[in-house]
Chains A and B, each alone.
Chain A
């Protein structure tokens, strides 16, 4: 168990050391990479354990906030993902951020993020989850805004934090509601509490539970960038690419899915069947994946294509959770982490090689120039579009499609359409970036990146292919349901997905091979359904400004006027009163003497 505590707190110690002591020396990067390695080893060692332990962190009367670690199949499996991808991203960053001026700050942020994410995964009660949830948001803010001198980066960081905060408000309300329902905050004890509540209020337990789950889902909407609050994820691409790989592809955004599944496990899966909230969650996931995939087909920045693809895949996962197939969601989370990180790091390598050029229409012909990167990127793409039987992505996507088929045919239809779109836009991206002729000078001068960069790529490519087979013992996959659900409609689903794949490949190739600019131009999609603009012009301007003026009014009146101004004015007037004593008038002083004498006589004689 001590290993688990080291796993949790080592990155924090490294982050603090980096920021306080090691800013100037070049030791910070090495220290962070070393801690990532140690945590990965510990995570492997802890695999399959099943225990909890905690200590009370803050106690108020009888209530105490505990910091605890819960090791079970779900959390240890997730830790492998977090530490594994984390380690590879750390190694990649050593090379990618070689010329950066603020390396220590970057690695501090990375270590802080590792600490926070570990906290979410290993948490054993909801308050700890919330604390680390916020910490992860903070680390994301710091890392997105790493190049804060750029206005776009600073704004993106702010946007990310605000969207997260909005979601977290609902999350907090949800936690409080759950606490009220079950009477406990620790995961181990919540199911018993829920059953007590059910017995006491059989009539409206479902409704109340639904409401609580919906509120908690708000947190997932914010963190995993589902539809209303998805706007921060594409903008978060302003951060360095390894950060995008770690945080915004593999781990942080998956925290929402993880948390939802943990909730399901905690409260008991059977309690979620038929809940109104589950319907809502599934449909939110489905619509997000559809909208995101549509938007991805028209993006020109390679990182943004990948960002929307992440959004879309997250939609899949959320949909699976809503359909009560949390295991499918976790399976997909697992495989998606590897190949999405691979895609992002590959994109990072390309961007680095093309001297920070990110527009795909300015790249081209990179397969010849950067073979390792190209091939690994291709493998990642294959995994994402779910090439049958060979890639891990296929297996996890099949699970999700099966779940959708068995529960809701409309959602299944949407999921298949999204699979088609996924194939289409990934083919587009691959063809335009890697095949054909180079379209600009920077692409011309690109050459293969150093070993510190392609080593993680190769490892991740291996995982992209093979992670499905080692996922079994790692994720909380219940072999019973696995076999059961595969019995129905297995070939129908397979047929649909292969059709979607082939159609997407063909249309992608046909439309984009050999072209120098985008033949399709759909402004609605290109401008991301104008949602960003809507938020900025309407909501931000009216609500935020109204709030700001209200708060300014209070500030002026109460704080400035009454408290600060009042204090200074009263000090001034008291001073004025005392100033009159110094009148300079001789008789005045003499009068005070006489008064004093009289008082002395009074007090001594009477």
Chain B
């Protein structure tokens, strides 16, 4: 995944860059699944790589970008970018070495069965938990629709606004 990230910056051809991003995101999705965040991982593939990156590739194809590869390498932005990267990494390592580390808490069948007690016994979540499986989607849905319902609705409006905005922006300017 990190190699994919590096490749994004390095490739001259924008299509290659886009495909490296896709590779990066796939790796990321794998990481998510490893973290027992199944729903988020699938979303990452579906939305990010499936929709967003495809859109990017569409746009790259739409605009003719042949001259990108022939442009000269300017030194200043490269130096600036490298400096930023290095300093940031140093700071990161510094911060991480001081902060307390944690190990992943156990998600064995015993923990899951114990957790089932906090849910109403007849719900789907409880039954799945007592079977020893993590009902990722149900848990997220539970939190989303009960505690954060308002935010969800606002998000819906946001999407609507974005759609309208896109339509307006892509109109040809009136003559």
Contact = CB atoms under 8 A, between A and B. Distances in A.
A601 B95 CA distance: 9
B84 to A, nearest CB: 5
Interface in B77-122: 77, 80-81, 84, 87-88, 91, 94-95, 98
Interface in A587-606: 587, 591, 594-595, 597-598, 601-602, 605-606
A600 to B, nearest CB: 10
B84 A602 contact: no
8 contacts: A591-B80, A594-B88, A598-B87, A598-B91, A605-B91, A605-B95, A605-B98, A606-B94
A587 B77 CA distance: 7
Contact of B94 (A587, A591, A594, A605): A605
Given A587-B80, A598-B84, A605-B95, 19 more contacts: A587-B77, A591-B77, A591-B80, A591-B81, A591-B84, A594-B88, A595-B84, A597-B88, A598-B87, A598-B88, A598-B91, A601-B91, A601-B95, A602-B91, A605-B91, A605-B94, A605-B98, A606-B91, A606-B94
Contacts of A595: 84
Contacts of A598: 84, 87-88, 91
Q: Chain A: interface secondary structure?
A: helix
Contacts of A606: 91, 94
Interface residues on B, range: 10 to 19
Contacts of B77: 587, 591
Interface in A501-547: none
A605 B98 CA distance: 10
Contacts of B80: 587, 591
B96 to A, nearest CB: 10
A605 B87 CA distance: 14
Contacts of A587: 77, 80
Nearest to B88: A598
A147 B124 CA distance: 111
Interface in B34-93: 77, 80-81, 84, 87-88, 91
A581 to B, nearest CB: 15
B84 A594 contact: yes
B77 to A, nearest CB: 5
A597 B84 CA distance: 10
Q: Chain B: interface secondary structure?
A: helix
Interface in A561-606: 587, 591, 594-595, 597-598, 601-602, 605-606
Nearest to A592: B80
B121 to A, nearest CB: 46
B89 to A, nearest CB: 11
Contacts of B87: 598
Contacts of B84: 591, 594-595, 598
A598 B77 CA distance: 17
A74 to B, nearest CB: 88
Interface string A360-383: 000000000000000000000000
Contacts of B95: 601, 605
Contacts of B91: 598, 601-602, 605-606
A373 B80 CA distance: 100
Nearest to B77: A587
A597 B88 CA distance: 9
B37 to A, nearest CB: 26
Nearest to A604: B95
A598 B88 CA distance: 6
A594 B84 CA distance: 7
Nearest to B92: A601
Contacts of B98: 605
B9 to A, nearest CB: 13
A601 B96 CA distance: 12
Nearest to B85: A594
Nearest 9 Cβ contacts at the A-B interface: A594-B84, A605-B95, A591-B80, A601-B91, A587-B77, A598-B87, A598-B88, A598-B91, A602-B91
Contacts of A605: 91, 94-95, 98
Interface string A177-202: 00000000000000000000000000
A598 B94 CA distance: 12
A597 B94 CA distance: 15
A593 to B, nearest CB: 10
Nearest to B74: A587
Contacts of B94: 605-606
A435 to B, nearest CB: 103
A606 B96 CA distance: 12
Interface in A377-434: none
A390 to B, nearest CB: 107
A602 to B, nearest CB: 6
Nearest to B80: A591
A585 to B, nearest CB: 9
